[in-house]
Structure 1
Amino acid sequence: MAGNLLARSIHDLTAGAWFGGSLMGAIGLNGAAAEAKDPAERTKLSSSGWMKWAPIQTAAFVSHLAADLAIAWENKERIAKQDGVARDTVIKTAVTVAGAAVTLYAGILGKKVDKLSDQGAVGATEPRPEASDELKSAQQQLKVLQWAIPAFAGAVIILGAKHGEMQRPKNVFAGLRS
């Protein structure tokens, strides 16, 4: 029980860090960077902030996946026997992996924007009209991904809460009867 509580806590906290960090970055960091007077500083400041966050986010992902594995191992019989748990586990895993891939891709695009920051920008995800096609493309993709990432993280949190509800004794017994 204590191991499950620790794993569950790590799982939830790391999903919260993913959600909160990505949302704060999209609103706070990118919004503040857009206010820099020098257009070249706008992408530079945003990129710098995201690079400072990246190691924390990576540690959160690794911890989240480790906790996920511990929870699945402890609940392997319930996953196999309780109606709907295996299906929801597969869905949650798919959403987590897709979200991680989108987050990684956003990091790759962010490095590209940082490399091209001398071109300047209207904002972290808003290119200047005279920007290169490469910078415009990266920023336009980041404009979408900055909102997709917290959506994936939020979905992981919601699916985790659903898994938690499925562990209530009345739900376990109902699921085992069907």
Structure 2
Amino acid sequence: MSGNLLARSVHDLTAAAWFGGSLMGAIGLNGAASQAQNPAERTRLSSLGWKRWAPVQTVAFASHIMAGIPLMWENKGRMASQEGVTRLSAIKTGVTLVGALVTLYSGILGQKVDRLADQGAAGATEPDPAAPEELKAAQKQLKVLQWTIPFFAGTVIVLGAKHGEMQRPKRVFEGLFKR
């Protein structure tokens, strides 16, 4: 496998892991944990699942970034000469970095919910009405972020597909003459 194909594959697969893992966590893990009989168990089970996923997600992010570096290096000539490539690369990099920060912040909130869950959590993202404000705030944010993260990851995948389309010979030719 050539270096470019390997880097492209790793780059795409790690974005897919981010997307699939975050969507499965929001729908599958948090959804299933919400069915536990005991409210304290709901948060505990969700937290355990997310803790198991966190190292995989961290490796996926690191691999995604590491695979992106040689891809950008290899495409530096196209970035300099083909119209739209630099702009799309900057947008994709920005979306990736903001999405990574949102994912990291979500993990921090998840740790807070795990730590405070015995004070009145009804579920992973559902606070008990009697819960302290700190716990309620963290859970309300997590409820939104669990859907925001797959949006960022999906956007990275779509932008990667757009990059692929821009590499077709016809598109390269058109992009060179638009400059």
Q: TM-score range by the shorter chain?
A: over 0.9
Mapped partners of 2:111, 2:69: distance in 1: 31
Deviation string 1:45-71 (CA, Å, 9 cap, x unpaired) is: 101100100000000000000111110
Mapped partners of 1:120, 1:171: distance in 2: 56
Mapped partners of 1:19, 1:41: distance in 2: 26
Instruction: Name the TM-score, length of structure 1 as normaliser.
Output: 0.98
SS of residue in 1 equivalent to 2:58: helix
Give aligned-pair identity as a percent: 71
Mapped partners of 1:31, 1:54: distance in 2: 18
Mapped partners of 2:167, 2:120: distance in 1: 52
Aligned to 2:166: 166
Please list every run of at least 4 consecutive aligned residues from structure 1 whose deviation after the TM superposition is greater than 4 angstroms: none
Aligned to 2:153: 153
**Contact 1:40–1:119 under 8 Å retained in 2:** no
Bigger shift: 115-124 or 103-112?
115-124
- How far the C-alpha of 1:3 sits from its partner, in A, is 1.1
Gaps in structure 1 of 5+ consecutive residues? none
Instruction: Name the TM-score, length of structure 2 as normaliser.
Output: 0.97
How many aligned residue pairs are there? 178
SS of residue in 1 equivalent to 2:122: strand
Aligned to 1:52: 52
Deviation string 1:8-55 (CA, Å, 9 cap, x unpaired) is: 100000000000000000000000111111111111110110010000
Mapped partners of 1:58, 1:150: distance in 2: 15
Gaps in structure 2 of 5+ consecutive residues? none
**Contact 1:96–1:152 under 8 Å retained in 2:** yes
- What letter is aligned with 1:96? T
**Contact 1:31–1:123 under 8 Å retained in 2:** no
Mapped partners of 2:120, 2:11: distance in 1: 39
- How far the C-alpha of 1:2 sits from its partner, in A, is 1.3
SS of residue in 2 equivalent to 1:89: helix
- How far the C-alpha of 1:173 sits from its partner, in A, is 0.8
Task: Establish whether residue 4 from structure 1 lines up as the match of residue 1 from structure 2.
Answer: no
Aligned to 2:90: 90
**Contact 2:40–2:123 under 8 Å retained in 1:** no
**Contact 2:121–2:135 under 8 Å retained in 1:** no
